[in-house]
Structure 1
Amino acid sequence: MAPSILIVAADGAQSALRDMAPALVRRQPVYPWGAVWCLLPGECWAHVDVLQQRYGGAREMIGLLPVGRRVDRDGRWLTFYFSLPGAQLEGFDAAALDRLRERVAVLWPEALPLLASIDSPQQLNRARYRDVQLRRPAQGRLVFIGDAAHAMSPQLGQGVNMALLDAAMLADVLAEDTTPAAALRVYGQRRRAHLAVYQRLSRWLTPFFQSERDGLARLRDLGFGPLARMPLARSQMLKILTGTKMSWWR
């Protein structure tokens, strides 16, 4: 068998391959919060094209994210998620599912009927978030992309965007007339500034959405709405949410 020209590690935030290259890792702490989540049919939901979320301070977050269609099922689908302290995820049981329903009934009663098909805690997946930062994305012929290279909390919703941009840039540099080693150096240089903006924003904003700091939740509720209506701030918010903010100052 011919030797591999390149090995692309795209195995997510909990990357096992990343653990095999410890010299690359600058930081990878686990956030104290996570979520339970599942896919739900969206036929009875009126907002199948709009992400909607509801909050109970910064301690509770419920979301319904449109994810389009599935290859194995008909209709439109939604990802449902409910944030929890990480310590509660492993022990999420039938009693915890009952408490989840109770909180959805209080915070977002319109969404409660969507959970009618969920009758077991095993139907909900568990997600833990990491804050991953690598010194460089490649070692030898191994290169990390997506969450394996730069996992963040999900508050900006940029995990898929950043992974796709990684893949596109990697393809571009490999198509240039250069060696794989040189291409990987260029790849790291071209992605560094863009990723740094999103990693720092994610780190700063996470406590406003998932933490025990109720004061930050009040500041969020008071400030984010008016900011989004100010032309300059609104344009910057749109750039952030579309993954197109390439640096701090331009």
Structure 2
Amino acid sequence: MLVVGGGIAGLALGIALRRIGRTVELVELNSAWNVYGVGIILQANALRALRQLGLSDACVAVGYPYTVSLHHEEDGQLQATRHKPSLLDEGLPASCGILRPALHDLLREAALSAGVQVRLGITVTTIVDEPDTAHVSFSDGSEGRYALVVGADGIRSHVRSLRFPEAQPPRFTGQGCWRFTLPRAAEVKSAVMYHGRHARLAGLVPVSQDQMYLLLLSEEPGNPRLAEADLPRLLNDRLRHFGGLIPAAAMQMPAPKDIIYRPLETQLVSAPWHRGRVVLAGDAAHATTPHMAQGASMALEDAVVLADCLDAASTVEQALQRYADRRFERCRRVVEASVQVGRWQMQPEAGADPIALLREVATELMRPA
């Protein structure tokens, strides 16, 4: 089987497929095979999926587990303490912050140890269906035939463009996300959020005993292109109204190259997610915004569910249909709820309760995928 993309979805899928005895080849266009160094949040359902891959304990050991999110007014006054749904009865914490490179290293080493064959600096150029295989041509001139091709190559998926050309392109939501890593403040023992005016949300999230990251979600009309050299000034301006722990964190702002800014885009491909011997996973099928901190969780769940379906079904077609049946509504719920929270940040509505929506969907996601 061929996996296109060496990020969270692709690596997790490679591990999951090897655990059911499948031969796996993975191609990754980025020859350095690295990721940018900011943190992410693994929710309880992500940790459940990682446990099925044999990696939950390792992630918790290098990350920072926590059980609540603290929500404040812009000036720092505590607004609400949100106790996050947990799987403590299954031995898993409610959430775990982790550095993105640390998670990447764990997944990469596990995939290589499991026997996933990796080729870097290449991607697919054509995919042609044959009766029982997909005939794939690669950008280095090589070819191969595979029982299944998985497009796990991100929100701008090339595999999706080849097999789902009618799919709508990723949509800019109107917001951008700013992040940088800094030493963990002693007070930051959980996610600490500040709900600001001007359609902004700032937060601090621990990712290890020594580190945390600052995040800011801000309205960015017109999806502007921001010069790297301007990022510290622009971020400082967007943070200037916040109180609490944010001013002290902002004073530790790093060099421009270490500030990560991304416009927030979303994508949801209609089910089913397969055509012939090609199927989509992760952001290639359902890219979400970070409001629910479920992007990594959904990718990890995709991997274990797809492997489970392939292991249980009598035919590939049957497995891929079951995969979409199990995943589409769950992923749709996350994508749409995340977009709704962002919309409320930009256009407040009477009676809107983002924290309640986050709690509701998080509770739903405690059910096995």
Q: 2-side partners of 1:146 and 1:122: how far apart?
A: 27
Match of 1:244 in 2: 365
Pick aligned residue for 1:150 from 267, 280, 286: 286
Task: Kindly indicate whether the alpha-carbon contact (under 8 Å) linking 2:183 and 2:210 is maintained by their aligned counterparts in 1.
Answer: yes
> How far does the alpha carbon of each residue in 1:8-27 deviate from its partner, in whole angstroms, 9 at most, with x for none?
22232233332333346256
Please state which structure has a larger fraction of its residues in strand: 2
Match of 1:11 in 2: 153
Pick aligned residue for 1:34 from 176, 196, 220: 176
Q: CA deviation at 1:173?
A: 0.4
Task: Kindly indicate whether the alpha-carbon contact (under 8 Å) linking 1:145 and 1:163 is maintained by their aligned counterparts in 2.
Answer: yes
Q: Structure 1's 189 and 177: CA in aligned 2 closer, same or farther, altered over 3 A?
A: closer
Q: CA deviation at 1:169?
A: 0.8
Whether 1:120 aligns to 2:255 is yes
Q: TM-score, normalised by structure 2?
A: 0.53
Task: Kindly indicate whether the alpha-carbon contact (under 8 Å) linking 1:161 and 1:243 is maintained by their aligned counterparts in 2.
Answer: no
Whether 1:80 aligns to 2:214 is yes
- 3-state DSSP of counterpart to 1:118: coil
Q: 1-side partners of 2:260 and 2:224: how far apart?
A: 9
- 4+ long deviations beyond 4 Å: 86-89, 92-96
Percentage of matched positions with identical amino acids: 22
Q: 2-side partners of 1:130 and 1:224: how far apart?
A: 19
Q: TM-score, normalised by structure 1?
A: 0.74
Whether 1:51 aligns to 2:51 is no
Task: Kindly indicate whether the alpha-carbon contact (under 8 Å) linking 1:24 and 1:139 is maintained by their aligned counterparts in 2.
Answer: no
Q: Structure 1's 9 and 39: CA in aligned 2 closer, same or farther, altered over 3 A?
A: farther
Task: Kindly indicate whether the alpha-carbon contact (under 8 Å) linking 2:155 and 2:170 is maintained by their aligned counterparts in 1.
Answer: no
Q: CA deviation at 1:149?
A: 0.8
> How far does the alpha carbon of each residue in 1:21-77 deviate from its partner, in whole angstroms, 9 at most, with x for none?
3346256322221122222231x34223x1122232352221222333xxxxxx433
Q: CA deviation at 1:171?
A: 1.1
Match of 1:72 in 2: none
Q: CA deviation at 1:94?
A: 4.6
Aligned residue-pair number: 223
Pick aligned residue for 2:343 from 207, 210, 231: 207
- 3-state DSSP of counterpart to 1:205: helix
- Any residues of structure 2 matched to 1:60-139 within 5 Å, and which? 60-68=200-208, 75-84=209-218, 85=220, 87=222, 90-135=225-270, 136-139=272-275
Q: 1-side partners of 2:210 and 2:224: how far apart?
A: 28
**RMSD of equivalent CA atoms:** 2.9
Q: 2-side partners of 1:79 and 1:89: how far apart?
A: 24
> How far does the alpha carbon of each residue in 1:118-165 deviate from its partner, in whole angstroms, 9 at most, with x for none?
343222112122221212212232221122211122212211221122
The one-letter amino acid paired with 1:47 is V
Q: 1-side partners of 2:229 and 2:334: how far apart?
A: 37
Q: 2-side partners of 1:109 and 1:171: how far apart?
A: 45
The one-letter amino acid paired with 2:298 is M
The runs of 5 or more residues in structure 1 that have no matched partner are 69-74, 229-235
Q: 2-side partners of 1:30 and 1:5: how far apart?
A: 35
Q: 1-side partners of 2:202 and 2:253: how far apart?
A: 15
Pick aligned residue for 1:174 from 300, 310, 318: 310
The one-letter amino acid paired with 2:263 is R
Task: Kindly indicate whether the alpha-carbon contact (under 8 Å) linking 1:66 and 1:78 is maintained by their aligned counterparts in 2.
Answer: yes
Match of 1:231 in 2: none
- 3-state DSSP of counterpart to 1:188: helix
Task: Kindly indicate whether the alpha-carbon contact (under 8 Å) linking 1:129 and 1:151 is maintained by their aligned counterparts in 2.
Answer: no
Q: Structure 1's 121 and 185: CA in aligned 2 closer, same or farther, altered over 3 A?
A: same
Q: 1-side partners of 2:265 and 2:332: how far apart?
A: 15
Q: Structure 1's 67 and 172: CA in aligned 2 closer, same or farther, altered over 3 A?
A: same
Task: Kindly indicate whether the alpha-carbon contact (under 8 Å) linking 1:35 and 1:89 is maintained by their aligned counterparts in 2.
Answer: no
- 3-state DSSP of counterpart to 1:18: helix
